[in-house]
Amino acid sequence: MGEVFEKIINLFRRQPSSWMWVENKLVTLNEIGGKHGYPDKRKTAKGKRLLEKLDPKVLLYDEAIKENVNFIKLTCGRLRAISKGRLLDLGCGGGDYYQIFKLAKSPLSKMEYFGCEINDALIKTARIRYPKTHFIKGYAQEIDCPATYYDIVFSSGVIQYTLQDWVKVIKEISRVCSRYVIISRLPLTDKKTFYVKQTVTSIFGTEVRFFVVINKADFKKNLKKYGLEAMTTSKSKETFGVEGIKGLISSYQLLLKVNRSKDTSLPRPVAAGTNI
Ligand SMILES: C[S@@+](CC[C@H](N)C(=O)[O-])C[C@H]1O[C@@H](n2cnc3c(N)ncnc32)[C@H](O)[C@@H]1O
């Protein structure tokens, strides 16, 4: 009886949206067995062609994108001197935030945009769509650039897919960034950190991904350890269920200031953080 009830509840936990169907299941790191969190080679030819032609204006209607744009407007609008400098979009997908920031007149729209992505097909698409900007193939765990090269690092819906490497990624973001970090669409939990197998079915076919839901206190501890001070934290409207976990999981958006103290082994920022 309990099992049937659980199955019915899990049916409601699935997240049908206009264009994809998502199922999330609790797994152990052993079950993931060293696979990447996010497939680094993918997209059918049809999917790729569709992405290449997609009008970025359409994306402004996407709820997650709207939330990111609003969060940045509300929090970064108050920051002085961010209209210049380099912006790294870490895990940039098809690079659409380059255009989204311009269309939305975002405080970040005048920055020099760089996208970093593991997926070759997406990098190719990004270069076709936005030839005037810079797209680099790379892993968030080891970003190929000198320390403090970027003024702002923005990373939306990416860190969770780096699985047990998430601390390495925080350390690496802190190394390459000199001023502010915006992390968004990151699921956090009050429970112990756990791992999820995610099956996504969309017009591009079915794809399996793995991600981590990080314990909040542990996440905060590591931000502090690597000199990232939380200025604003906001709970996203985005929630999801996981088969095997009670309750819904929330995602978060964070604006962090690089504030490395003398006792960290990391280099101090070239330009000091601006007061707000
Ligand atoms: C859910 S998508 C988010 C895309 C985009 N940032 C957005 O918010 O729409 C996650 C992206 O992160 C990329 N990714 C996953 N793991 C990565 C890693 N270790 N380093 C760099 N990019 C990664 C994936 O290929 C994918 O494009």
Render 93-157 in DSSP notation, one character per residue: TT-THHHHHHHTT-TTTTSEEEEEES-HHHHHHHHHH-TTSEEEE-BTTB-SS-TT-EEEEEEES
- Asked if residue 237 is part of any domain, the answer here is yes
Say how many Å lie between the CA of residue 205 and the centre of ligand 1. 18
Q: How many domains does the chain have?
A: 1
pLDDT tens-digit readout, 43-62: 555 566 666 777 777 778 78
The average confidence (pLDDT) of the chain is: 86
CATH code at position 128: 3.40.50.150
At 273 the pLDDT is 33
- Asked if residue 21 is part of any domain, the answer here is yes
Say how many Å lie between the CA of residue 7 and the centre of ligand 1. 31
The response to whether residue 156 sits with its C-beta less than 6 Å from ligand 1 reads: yes
Residue 14 has pLDDT above 60, yes or no: no
Top mutation candidate among 89, 118, 209, 240 for ligand 1, by most atoms within 8 Å of CB: 118
- Asked if residue 269 is part of any domain, the answer here is no
125 phi/psi in degrees, rounded to 5: -60, -45
Contact 106, 184 (CB under 8 A): no
- The whole domain housing 188 covers 2-258
pTM of this structure: 0.87
- Asked if residue 270 is part of any domain, the answer here is no
- Asked if residue 264 is part of any domain, the answer here is no
Mean pLDDT of 230-245: 93
Say how many Å lie between the CA of residue 156 and the centre of ligand 1. 8
The response to whether residue 93 sits with its C-beta less than 6 Å from ligand 1 reads: yes
pLDDT tens-digit readout, 109-144: 999 999 999 999 899 999 999 999 999 999 999 999
Say how many Å lie between the CA of residue 91 and the centre of ligand 1. 4
Query: Which atom from ligand 1 is nearest to the alpha carbon of 165?
Result: 19
- Asked if residue 267 is part of any domain, the answer here is no
- Asked if residue 197 is part of any domain, the answer here is yes
- Asked if residue 268 is part of any domain, the answer here is no
pLDDT tens-digit readout, 20-41: 789 999 999 999 998 889 876 6
Residue 19 has pLDDT above 70, yes or no: no
pLDDT tens-digit readout, 178-190: 999 999 999 999 9
